[in-house]
Amino acid sequence: MVRRATLTAPTRVLAAVFLTVVALGTTACATDKRPPDPDAVAAGATLYEQSCASCHGSDLRGTDKGPPHLSEVYASDHHSDDSFRSAITNGAPSHHWDFGDMPPVPSLSDEDITSILAFVRQQQATQELEAYPPG
């Protein structure tokens, strides 16, 4: 004889809420994986070269002035787009690398930053990321 667990009303409500949150989270994650707009990526490549490459390298692999954006530490699961946006807008204290604090880049608009992020994320998706800490 199979014995079934009897769930109380509050437990059933909590289970329903949990399943709804999981379903919404899965849907949100799926929509975040859409390919970047090619026009934004192209604009971002130009803006990156003008505003970021002197420190982070034209190939996004870093220089003696700044870290590589192709490091796994800058993947979206560790540094979100919001953290990139904040670093560009407000600057960022040195915390993963010994290059010193990053100053803000006030010449970039929100739209410029969005394009740069599209370019960086596209490059991260198509290039091999470097291990962190570097070996």
Answer whether residue 32 is part of any domain. no
Answer whether residue 51 is part of any domain. yes
End-to-end C-alpha distance for the chain, whole angstroms: 59
What is the span of the domain harbouring residue 65?
Answer: 38-95+104-126
pLDDT by residue for the chain (135 residues), tens only, comes to: 555 545 565 544 444 444 334 443 433 343 356 777 999 999 999 999 999 999 999 999 999 999 999 999 999 999 999 999 999 999 999 999 999 999 999 999 999 999 999 999 999 999 999 999 887
At residue 25, the pLDDT reads 41
Q: Is 28 exposed, middle or buried (0-12, 13-18, 19+ CB in 10 A)?
A: exposed
Answer whether residue 44 is part of any domain. yes
Decide if 56 contacts 130 (C-beta within 8 A).
no
**What's the structural domain count of the chain?**
1
Q: How far is Cα 127 from Cα 121, in angstroms, rounded to an integer?
A: 10
Answer whether residue 19 is part of any domain. no
At residue 15, the pLDDT reads 42
At residue 1, the pLDDT reads 54
Decide if 55 contacts 66 (C-beta within 8 A).
yes
Answer whether residue 57 is part of any domain. yes
What's the pTM value of the predicted model, to 2 decimals? Answer: 0.74
At residue 91, the pLDDT reads 97
Decide if 8 contacts 83 (C-beta within 8 A).
no
At residue 123, the pLDDT reads 97
Compute the C-alpha angle 26/69/63, nearest 5°. Answer: 175
Answer whether residue 30 is part of any domain. no
3-state secondary structure of 109: coil
Compute the C-alpha angle 27/129/28, nearest 5°. Answer: 10
Residue 43 belongs to domain with CATH number: 1.10.760.10
Answer whether residue 42 is part of any domain. yes
Answer whether residue 18 is part of any domain. no
